[in-house]
Amino acid sequence: MSSENLDPVLKKHLGRVEAPANLWGHVQGRIAAESPKPSYWKVPAFATAAFVVAIAGGWTMWQQSQAPQTVEAMAVAALGNRPEQLELRTDDAASIRKWVRANAGIDIPLPPKHSEVIRITGASVNHEGPRMAQVAYQVGEFRAALLVTKDPTGVTRYPKHDFRGSNSLDAARVTSWSLKGQAYTLAWTAPGEDRTACLLCHDQEPPMVPPAAQVN
């Protein structure tokens, strides 16, 4: 492509677009969530600033030391979350699908009705980093967490489950696959080669999960 052709191409394809109709609702939601702010003016400015810097520094260091290093580790860590840590607490799959789509731009193909052995606890989305959503649920007495990430690399457009593999990590089973531009990582605590965790999305025939390789 020559330089004289570049200008019109960029003008045409990078032009303005209309903001989504729900942007105002999201802005209002954020305003409501972040106000009212505490009256810091009553505290001496220097002490406040020093306190904020110390807390922020400590928080950042703590987060860096605590942050899981892989997506699989994040999924396993999510198994330990308490229900009250979830942003949306509901067992309604349709509500979760709608909420995740609105808040993370990720469509998790949860069927409106799922197996009776599955009990959804809720969902959260990642606000500080890549597009990622988590659905927490119980499979009978066992816990399970599904992490779904938007693929920023464009390598995962294959329309069927493309399994990356399964591992055992910290006494949990973890398996990852990609499907239509999204990557899924499922962690669950049931023993053996149990595939009931797949019933969250597959009421009939869950796809074959490859055998686990012991990691930790």
Partner 1 sequence: MLVDTDQDVIEGCKRGDEAAFRELFESHKDKIYSIALRYAGDRAAAMDISQDTFLKLMDRIGQFRGESSFDSWLYRLVVNSCMDYRRRQKRWLPMVEEFFDSFRAPQATPLQDLMADERQQQVQDVVAKLAPEHRMVVVLRYTEGLSYEEIADILNCSRGTVASRLNRAHKVLERRLGALAKEVGK
**Where along the sequence are the contacts to partner 1 (CB under 8 A)?**
1-3, 6, 9-11, 13-20, 23-24, 26-27, 30-31, 34, 67, 69-71, 104-106, 127-131, 149-158, 162, 164, 176, 178, 183
Rounded Cα distance, 189 and 197, in Å: 9
Shortest distance in whole angstroms from residue 147 CB to partner 1 = 10
Task: Write out the DSSP string of 10-73.
Answer: HHHHS---PPPTTHHHHHHHHHHHH-SPP-GGGS-HHHHHHHHHHHHHHHHHHHHHHS-SSHHH
Give the residue among 2, 44, 182, 19 at the shortest CA–CA distance from 100: 182
Q: Which is nearer to partner 1, 17 or 191 (CB)?
A: 17
Shortest distance in whole angstroms from residue 167 CB to partner 1 = 12
The SS3 assignment for 93 reads: helix
Q: Which is nearer to partner 1, 2 or 214 (CB)?
A: 2
Q: Which is nearer to partner 1, 50 or 67 (CB)?
A: 67
Q: Which is nearer to partner 1, 27 or 117 (CB)?
A: 27
Shortest distance in whole angstroms from residue 77 CB to partner 1 = 13
